[in-house]
Amino acid sequence: MSTSSLKPEILISRLSHRPCHLIGAMITISDPPKPRALADRLWTHRVSSLGILDRLPPEIMWMFLDLLDIQSIARFAMVSSRGNTVVRSHRPYRDLVTFAPHVLAAFGRTGLNGLHSVAELYAALQTERCAKCKEYGAFLFLPTCERCCWECLLCNPSLRMVTPKEAKRYFGLSERYLHRLPTLSVIPGNYGICGDPAPDPCKLVSVKAARSLGLMVHGSAEKLAQAMARRCKSTLALIVGRYLQGEPAVAQDQDLLLMPCQGNIPTDNFFGMASIPFPSLSRSGRVEDGLWCKGCEVTVREHDRGRLPGDVLAAVVPPDCGPNRVLVGLERRARSRESFLEHIKHCYGARKLVAELKTGNS
């Protein structure tokens, strides 16, 4: 039997899954409240207007709504029946409410619902690719509204959070400047692979925002590093500070997993507290949540047991990379539907799980 005899839907159902330990490591909104949209019956037979805004052409009105943040557009919908009608006919907001209500709820509960415009969020919804690399981004980093993959969340310092006290130390910020940074209120719960409980209460700021502010205050990366060195009293603090002030030199078309290890990366004590699973919406209207490969789990298990053939390992892991890091990274990687169907043709574990792949055209 050839691979073509198995429909893509069958292959996806047999070889893909959504790993609970990865999804649960992020912000979890199990019961997102419905937006405070006004029911049609409340406006039945009511005459309403938006005043001078009614004079605007529809195209200008859409541009106006694009610029509003989630909180503001919800309030606009409650001004009048006309406002409610206009908002509900605005496709970007309607799609966000339909396909990512948990993300909108997360912005509200973290106190960041006024940070990004509807246009920014909708652009992220219509994007598949991680903002930092070429892979599928299954998550959204709330403070920057960037789609990202697991590996970049783990390794890229600009996708990290720190406490305000740490921001002062690592980026040379005074209390006066610190108040300029948007503050995230951590939603109580368990985060990270180990499911550690979040400190309560806990306020965090984005490393990317703190670094940008630090550069503005001090004038250059060199002076920023000097300010950090004066405040860090231990070797460990200096190491962490240098890491947070840096930026991985990874081109957008490179695979971070297949590059040589960047050395020991400091532990992220707040991993997952500012990120959430985020679907992608194609121009044709297809919604994807990312597909994780069961075959990659098998490959990791075979390697742990010493049963992975040497030629398979050599084909997957570059000579200057650590096998465990690469194999576990592939196991944690989400893929788009198209990328997943291409991946399983060459995945050792997938071929072990689905015998038809061994004899298929690949």
Q: Where are the domains of the chain?
A: 1-18+290-362, 23-127, 146-277
The pair of three-digit structure tokens given for residue 161, joined into one six-digit string: 């959070």
- In this predicted structure, the answer to whether residue 46 has a pLDDT above a threshold of 80 is no
Confidence check: pLDDT of 48 > 70 = no
What is the per-residue pLDDT across 308-337, written as a single tens digit (0 to 9) for each? 999 999 999 988 888 999 999 999 999 999
Say whether pTM exceeds 0.85: yes
How many Å apart are CA 23 and CA 17, to the nearest integer? 11
The Cα–Cα gap between 362 and 193 comes to 34
Least confident of 23-32, 62-71, 167-176, 353-362: 353-362
The dihedrals phi and psi of 312, each to the nearest 5 degrees, come to: -65, -45
Kindly tell me if the per-residue pLDDT of 50 is higher than 80: no
pLDDT band at 42 (very low <50, low <70, confident <90, very high): very low
Q: Cα–Cα distance between 352 and 331 in angstroms, integer?
A: 15
Contacts of 265 (CB under 8 A, 6+ apart): 154, 155, 243
Q: What are phi and psi of 228, to 5 degrees?
A: -65, -45
User: pLDDT confidence of 284, banded at 50, 70, 90?
Assistant: confident
295: buried, middle or exposed (CB in 10 Å: 19+, 13-18, 0-12)?
Answer: buried
Tens of pLDDT, residue by residue over 158-204, are 999 999 999 999 999 999 999 999 999 999 999 999 889 998 889 99
pLDDT beyond 70 at 52: no
55 DSSP assignment: G
Residue with tokens 């912005």: 107
Mean pLDDT within 121-133: 95
Amino acid 39: pLDDT: 40
Q: Give mean pLDDT, residues 81-104.
A: 88
- Measured between its terminal Cα atoms, the distance across the chain in Å is 13
Whether the CA torsion 156, 158, 159, 164 is positive or negative: it is positive
Asked whether the predicted pLDDT for residue 47 surpasses 50, the reply is: no
Residue 312: strand, helix, or coil: helix
pLDDT of residue 326: 94
* Strand bridging mode 161-162 / 203-206: antiparallel
The pLDDT of 201-212, averaged and rounded, is 96
Per-residue pLDDT averaged across 269-283, rounded?
95
Residue 108 predicted with pLDDT over 60 = yes
- Are residues 109 and 142 in contact, defined by beta-carbon separation less than 8 angstroms? no
Average pLDDT of the chain to the nearest whole number: 88
Please provide residue 16's backbone torsions phi and psi, each rounded to the nearest 5 degrees: -110, 160
Q: Cis check for the bond before 201: say yes or no (omega within 30 of 0).
A: yes
Question: In angstroms, how far is CA 109 from the centroid of its own chain?
Answer: 17
- pLDDT above 70 (res 251): no
- Report the percentage of the chain scoring pLDDT > 90: 70
Q: Evaluate if residue 275 carries a pLDDT over 60.
A: yes
Contact, 147 vs 137, CB < 8 A? yes
- Give the span between the Cα atoms of 294 and 290, in whole angstroms: 13
How far apart CA 146 and CA 297 sit, in angstroms, is 27
Q: What is the pLDDT averaged over residues 219-232?
A: 94
Between these two residues, 77 and 297, which has the higher pLDDT value? 297
Q: How far apart are CA 290 and CA 340, in angstroms?
A: 9
Does residue 81 have a pLDDT over 90?
A: no
Residue 355: its H or E element: none
- Which residue's structure tokens are 């619902």? 113
Determine the Cα–Cα distance for residues 133 and 270; give it in Å rounded to an integer. 22
* Rounded percentage of the chain residues whose pLDDT exceeds 70: 88
